[in-house]
Amino acid sequence: MQIAYRARDITEAHIVAGLLEANGIDAFVGGHYLQGAMGEIGTAGFSNVHVHDDDLYRARQLVTEYEATPGGSSCQLTENEGDRPDQYARWFLLALAIVGLLLFQIY
C-alpha cells in the first residue's frame, strides 16, 4: 500500500477516502491511534490515506481534482515527498523535547 494523501486531520482523511471509494478505489485511513495519543487537541500530520499500489496514480489524480475545488484542502503529497516525516511531527517532537529538558532541570 502507498500513501495517496496526507490529511490535516482524521476527518479530512475520511473525506478523501470516501471520495476515492466512491470512484471505485479501496482506501484505508491510518493514523487513528497516533492522533488519539495527543489527547483532545486536533493534531495535524498523522492522518494518511493509503491505497493499493495499482490504484496510486488514479487516486492522486482524484486528490488533485479535490484540491482544485474551492472547498478542497491545501494539504497534499507530492511525488518527491515519499515517506518523509511531516513537518508538524518534527515541531511537536522538538517542543516535547524542550519541555522534557525544562522539567528535568526543574526537578
User: What SS3 state is found at 74?
Assistant: coil
Per-residue pLDDT reduced to its tens digit, 31-46: 776 655 555 544 555 7
Which residues make Cβ contacts (< 8 Å) with residue 95, sequence separation at least 6?
none
Average pLDDT in the 86-103 region?
84
C-alpha cell at 64: 488533485
User: Quick check: 54 and 25 in contact, CB under 8 A?
Assistant: no
User: Quick check: 32 and 40 in contact, CB under 8 A?
Assistant: no
Per-residue pLDDT reduced to its tens digit, 52-64: 988 888 998 888 8
pLDDT of residue 78: 47
Q: Which CATH architecture has domain 2-106?
A: 2-Layer Sandwich (3.30)
